[in-house]
Amino acid sequence: MKICIIGGGNIGSALIEGLLRANALAPEQITVSDPSAQVLGRWSQQGLQTSASNAEAVRGAHIVFLCVKPHLATTVLQDIRTNIFSAQLLVSFVAGLTLQDIETITGVRPIIRVIPNTAMAVNASVMGVSSRHTSEQEQASVTELLSKVGMVIPIDESLMNAFTVLGSCGTAFALRYVRACMTAGCEIGFKPDMARDITAQVLLGTAKLLLETKSHPETEIDKVTTPKGITIVGLNEMEDQGLSAAIVSGIKAAYRKMS
């Protein structure tokens, strides 16, 4: 299998790093296309094929991943549409670009739309996936590849904007929580790096608890809040300061902006 990645920025690089870390593909099975000589040089040094021409890069690829910024997506799709054959799967990571938008530019063809996050680089992304004109085999091959860089969740395309906010912007929301804990952690005695590691491991452990037990967060909170204890004092103070309301309000504001 050969894949082509158009746009070697944050998301294109995260995908490549995750696939290489998982040994899902050998470097020579991946071609990266990007206008930046620095980006191409970085991947070429690691044994990937590189190209400054998108039209050239898609030749021979079984799957073409579109990883450019939304405002460039139409131009790039117009550039490659005559070079990309119907047997080649087109997978778009572009936020806000619908399956219909892609079909309008490239014609009827198998298309998969994915919203990932940057944790693909460490094989721990979550990805919402919708598709059009794809066979079960095509869906299965893309799901198998993407599952090497995280959890794949098939969703109706109508939920893509909501998924973008929760699953993709969610990385930044979680990081802001970590940064706040680092600031507070420093005040109560830790160096920032140690506070970061403690908080990150707490989040990792909490995430595993929820994913493995499928428990409700309040059930787990009940297990760690002793009556008259310290945890409940901290939680109640955070809620007095508007923690849950701020999160709900932020997610809804981001969704309004997306829609």
Site for ligand NAP, rule CB under 6 A: 6-12, 33-36, 39, 54, 67-70, 72, 76, 93-95, 115-118, 168
C-beta separation of 130 from 111 below 8 A: no
In whole angstroms, the minimum distance from the beta carbon of 169 to ligand NAP comes to 8
CB of 77 to ligand NAP, least distance (A): 10
Helical pair 243-258 and 170-187, crossing angle rounded to 10 deg: 150
**Helix (H/G/I), strand (E/B), else coil: 148:** coil
Query: In the complex with ligand NAP, which residue's Cβ is closer, 78 or 86?
Result: 78
Q: Which is nearer to ligand NAP, 10 or 46 (CB)?
A: 10
Report the nearest approach of ligand NAP to the CB of residue 16 (Å). 11
Query: Cβ closer to ligand NAP: 58 or 195?
Result: 58
The minimum distance between CB 242 and ligand NAP, in angstroms, equals 26
Contact call for residues 42 and 69 (beta carbons, < 8 A): no
For the record, the structure tokens of 232 come out as: 């409940």
Nearer to ligand NAP, 50 or 199 (CB): 50
- Kindly tell me which of 147 and 225 has the beta carbon lying closer to ligand NAP: 147
Helices (H), 22-169: 37-45, 54-57, 70-80, 99-106, 136-146, 160-163
Up-side HSE of residue 227: CA atoms within 13 Å toward CB? 0
CA distances to 106, 185, 238 from 225, rounded to whole Å, are 56, 20, 14
- Residue number with CB closer to ligand NAP (117 or 130): 117
Q: Which residue is nearest to ligand NAP (CB)?
A: 9
Residue type, 215: S
The CA-based angle 190-203-123, given to 5 degrees, is 120
Residue 18 beta carbon to ligand NAP: minimum distance, rounded to whole angstroms: 13
With tokens 């920032």, the residue in question is 192
